[in-house]
Amino acid sequence: MLVAAPLLAIPVLVYNLFILVGAEGRGDSAALAALADPVFSVPMASGAYWTVGMGEILLFFSLILLFVELLKSTNSQRVAIVNHALSMILFVVCLVEFLLLRGFATSVFFLIMTMVLLDVLAGFIVTIVAARRDFDMGPR
């Protein structure tokens, strides 16, 4: 049944741990600052530096997991229905956190929450299209 778990729960959990535990226990403001602090920078051909923070790394990881979730949504087995339901629950949890908890009203978390919503929508749309194709009786 672990296959049914939405993969986007991983970045949500990482963000939750980061904010709720805080950056080394220093609170959510320090955790938010740590998300924005540069982790590394890459010199570009233009002479500019591309700086990447922990928030951007988490978003990149989330995009990869969204891609895998979209591939999983094409599966029409029973486990896919459970995955869609768990993804919907995850979206509701993310929405409540975004609206009610102080450290979650950030662009990074909003984008992660949007990815979870896209996973929910894509899963239901793919399931509906596949069901319509399976039950199509031919030309009308």
130 vs 103, higher pLDDT: 103
Residues 101, 92: Cα–Cα separation, whole Å: 14
pLDDT of 18 reads 86
**Cβ(42)–Cβ(49) below 8 Å:** yes
Provide the pLDDT confidence category of residue 1 given band limits of 50, 70 and 90. low
pLDDT of 29 reads 76
138 has a pLDDT exceeding 60: no
Cα-trace Rg, the chain: 18
**pLDDT digit string, tens, across residues 69-127:** 888 877 767 778 888 889 999 999 999 999 998 889 999 999 999 999 999 998 888 87
93 vs 19, higher pLDDT: 93
User: pTM of this prediction?
Assistant: 0.84
Mean pLDDT of 51-57: 93
Residues 80, 77: Cα–Cα separation, whole Å: 6
- In this structure, the chain runs to a length of 140
- pLDDT averaged over every residue in the chain: 86
CA 83, distance to chain mean position in Å, is: 14
